């Protein structure tokens, strides 16, 4: 084209972004801005979306300045894209400032962008609060699948089952419970909130689950040590001609590790590349090393670490530094989730909790006439530990 116009430039930018080359889209935008062609709202939106993909904050701020110079305050598409870009760049407060500038002109896309920004940046309480504000102020607009997915993810990160069930109720009322993306988020949420049976129920309602849905339920199986179920789900998805991805295999190996299925785990590792076209990386080898360590096969784990080729030094450190994450439990009281980690008393009201444990132990001893057990708090390598020491070896436990 001897003299391309703004439509031509914008189409080419959108094409580069669509095929995974957003950096070239931004190069084209820079050429437009230096030339005589004036970018329109579609050009600016495309450029902002490219910045979102790359998490390119400084370029995104420059484009935001161009938006202000071109005086496009009423364009919801551009401003919603800016909210999304700032969220992807972990600048949630800047995203909120842009969101507030839209005033009462916000549409469902604008609200979704802001709720997603909160949910993606570990500000789940604010995501849920904004969703409540949306439902109260936007009676004429229904939440879309993307908004519902972000809200459910926020509930999952908080571990608040009551909020998760309320979000699930909204999903059912809107007829979105069989949507693959929403269902995958529900599966993940219920697993993280301690209700794996609900996860499985939601998953089974999806008529044609995708790889994402299967991966979500396999991750849930791994969380609960259900290695046999995880392997059955893998076989089921392969039978449906669905191709497991790298995340699927991380979940499978994690499940095998927590179930003691070493041979099955090794078989999955060995078949990843030649059977499924997925090249194992550090995450997969780390799971296998952990799996071997749990079953006492230390020498095999050692030689596996020695044999793995890594591209970055920190990846080698991950393999050598495999450690078991502390177990945890949680309880939800008055819509607040309280989490307890094994070996850690650094939480509010720890004294009251220990006192209640002592009272419970005393009452159980009276009822069952068991040997006397005393609760002690001591430090192990700087970490407070709650343990029970009885008068016989059988009465000794560590929590």
Give how far Cα 163 sits from Cα of 88, 136, 171, Å: 25, 16, 12
Contact assessment for residue 183 and residue 202, using Cβ atoms and an 8 Å cutoff: yes
SS3 content of the chain, % helix, strand, coil (to 5): 65, 10, 25
Range 160-178 average pLDDT: 89
- pLDDT value of residue 140: 62
Residues whose CB falls within 8 Å of the CB of residue 195, separated by 6 or more in sequence, listed in order: 161
Q: How confident is the model at residue 194 (pLDDT cuts 50, 70, 90)?
A: confident
Write down the mean pLDDT value for the chain: 85
Strand partners, 377: 386
Q: Which letter does DSSP use for residue 372 in this model?
A: P
Q: What angle do CA 222, 191, 234 make, to 5 degrees?
A: 40
Residues whose CB falls within 8 Å of the CB of residue 276, separated by 6 or more in sequence, listed in order: 238, 243, 244, 249
pLDDT digits (tens, 9 = 90+) for 127-167: 999 999 998 886 567 889 999 999 999 999 988 888 899 99
Q: Which letter does DSSP use for residue 398 in this model?
A: E
Q: How confident is the model at residue 380 (pLDDT cuts 50, 70, 90)?
A: very low
- pLDDT value of residue 388: 43
CB-based contacts of 292-299 (< 8 A; 24+ apart in sequence): 292/262, 293/322, 294/257, 294/258, 294/260, 294/324, 295/260, 295/262, 297/262
Strand partners, 337: 332
Percent of the chain with pLDDT over 90: 56
- Lowest mean pLDDT across 84-98, 118-132, 301-315: 301-315
pTM of the model: 0.76
Instruction: Indicate where the chain has its CATH 1.25.40.10 domain(s).
Output: 1-117
- pLDDT value of residue 294: 87
Give how far Cα 353 sits from Cα of 136, 188, 357, 381, Å: 39, 30, 6, 23
- What's the CATH superfamily of 1-117? Tetratricopeptide repeat domain (1.25.40.10)
Closest CA to 230 of 257, 195, 190, 194: 257
How far, in Å, CA of 347 to CA of 339, rounded? Answer: 8
pLDDT digits (tens, 9 = 90+) for 65-92: 999 998 876 789 999 999 999 999 999 9
pLDDT digits (tens, 9 = 90+) for 334-373: 666 677 766 677 777 777 877 888 888 888 888 866 555 5
- pLDDT value of residue 2: 67
pLDDT digits (tens, 9 = 90+) for 230-262: 999 999 999 999 999 999 999 999 999 989 999
């Amino acid at each position: 084209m001897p003299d391309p116009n703004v439509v031509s430039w914008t189409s080419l930018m959108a094409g580069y972004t669509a095929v995974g080359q957003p950096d070239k889209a931004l190069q084209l935008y820079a050429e437009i801005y230096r030339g005589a062609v004036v970018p329109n709202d579609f050009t600016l939106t495309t450029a902002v979306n490219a910045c979102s993909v790359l998490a390119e904050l400084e370029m995104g701020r420059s484009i935001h300045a161009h938006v202000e110079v071109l005086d496009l305050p009423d364009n919801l598409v551009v401003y919603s894209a800016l909210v999304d870009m700032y969220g992807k760049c972990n600048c949630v407060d800047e995203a909120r400032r842009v969101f507030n500038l839209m005033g009462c002109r916000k549409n469902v896309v604008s609200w979704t962008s802001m709720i997603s920004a909160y949910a993606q940046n570990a500000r789940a309480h604010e995501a849920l609060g904004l969703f409540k504000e949306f439902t109260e102020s936007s009676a004429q607009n229904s939440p879309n699948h993307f908004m519902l997915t972000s809200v459910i993810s926020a509930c999952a990160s908080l571990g608040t089952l009551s909020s998760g069930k309320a979000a699930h109720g909204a999903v059912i009322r809107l007829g979105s419970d069989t949507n693959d993306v929403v269902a995958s988020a529900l599966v993940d949420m219920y697993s993280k909130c301690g209700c794996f049976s609900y996860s499985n129920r939601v998953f089974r309602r999806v008529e044609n689950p995708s790889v994402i849905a299967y991966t979500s339920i396999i991750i849930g199986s791994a969380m609960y040590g259900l290695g046999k179920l995880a392997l059955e789900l893998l076989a089921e998805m392969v039978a449906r001609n669905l191709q497991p991805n790298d995340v699927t295999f991380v979940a499978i190996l994690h499940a095998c590790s927590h179930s003691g299925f070493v041979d099955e785990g090794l078989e999955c590792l060995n078949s990843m590349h030649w059977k499924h076209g997925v090249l194992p990386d550090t995450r997969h080898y780390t799971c296998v090393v952990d799996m071997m360590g749990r079953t006492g096969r230390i020498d095999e784990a050692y030689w596996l670490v020695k044999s793995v080729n890594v591209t970055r030094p920190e990846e080698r450190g991950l393999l050598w530094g495999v450690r078991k994450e502390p177990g945890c439990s949680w309880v939800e009281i008055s819509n607040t989730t309280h989490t307890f980690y094994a070996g850690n008393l650094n939480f509010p009201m720890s004294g009251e909790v220990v006192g209640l444990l002592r009272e419970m132990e005393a009452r159980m001893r009276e009822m069952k006439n068991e040997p006397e057990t005393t609760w002690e708090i001591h430090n192990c390598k700087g970490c407070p530990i709650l343990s029970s020491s009885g008068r016989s070896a059988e009465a000794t436990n560590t929590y």
